[in-house]
Amino acid sequence: MKKTIAFTLAFSALLILPAIAQLGKVWVDFQYYSTDFQNYLSNNLSDSLENNSQNALNNSRGDLNLPNPVDAGKQARQGILFFNSIPDKFENNQAVHSNSVSNEINRVITRSSVVGVLGRDAQIRTKNKLENTERTIDNITNIYNDSNSILNKIGGILGGANTDNIVRTEESNLQLQSIRIQSEQSKIIAENLAQTLQTNQFIQYSNLNLANISQQMEESNRARRLDSATEASRLLRTTSQIELFGTKPEN
């Protein structure tokens, strides 16, 4: 319970902070993304969705504060089927309506993810991150140039008298420069890991949409087969009636 409260407070604090992304601060950046995600999700649920859809989304959240689409859709369908939720005026079949609501939840989740990456605040964060990346590369270049100067200085003083202390000092400076370079590079490595994880997340949303499309195609094909069978039965019945009326009784 305490963990949940602390987590909620952390995300609430993000709402009043500027959306400034820092290179290497991958968890803070993801929290900003998740905040944009949740804001869009809560503000753009279709009016046709039942109240339990929002509960399903809230109950399916994990440690990243993102809803699990599969679990959210399952809970929404169960809520409609088990609690006799009233469908909208275009649906009179609870099973069909529950699938429609589940698909709409998946679409809203996908759009929320897009807003978290391409929305206004998200683009500000991306711009900041690109600027910070360029600044980091410039820092690495400057450190590299300073390191070359130190190496040249060491080469110039070698062979002189009483130069051991000076050389050791310059070598220490060179090691410090190397550590600074590694520190800057670690930020870029962390960003690569974060981007890889987020790419995997987007791939899962794409897979989810493909699964929904496949399911809808199967339902459409099933409905078309039923319509064809119904039409064939109607034609057969009509033909039989015509033949029956057209048959002359034998004398």
47 and 152 in a single domain? The answer is no
pTM above 0.75, yes or no: no
109 and 53 in a single domain? The answer is yes
Would 210 be classed as within a structural domain?
A: no
Alpha-carbon dihedral 117, 119, 122, 128, rounded to 10 degrees: 120
Identity (one letter) of the amino acid at 175? Q
- Give me the mean pLDDT over the 170-191 stretch: 82
87 and 165 in a single domain? The answer is no
Measured distance CA(36)–CA(122) in Å, rounded: 8
What single DSSP character describes residue 194? Answer: H
Would 203 be classed as within a structural domain?
A: no
114 and 137 in a single domain? The answer is no
113 and 35 in a single domain? The answer is yes
**92-107 confidence digits (pLDDT tens):** 567 777 777 888 888 8
Would 10 be classed as within a structural domain?
A: yes
Domain that holds residue 68: 1-118
Token couple for 11: 């995300």
**139-178 confidence digits (pLDDT tens):** 888 888 887 777 777 766 665 556 677 777 777 787 888 8
* pLDDT value, residue 61: 87
147 and 91 in a single domain? The answer is no
* pLDDT value, residue 1: 46
Answer yes or no: are the C-beta atoms of 97 and 91 closer than 8 Å.
yes
Would 248 be classed as within a structural domain?
A: no
Would 31 be classed as within a structural domain?
A: yes
pLDDT over 50 (residue 4): no
**6-33 confidence digits (pLDDT tens):** 444 444 444 444 457 777 788 888 899 8
Among 39-48, 225-234, 242-251, the minimum mean pLDDT is found in 242-251
Would 68 be classed as within a structural domain?
A: yes
- How many C-beta atoms surround the C-beta of residue 214 within 10 A? 10
Would 198 be classed as within a structural domain?
A: no
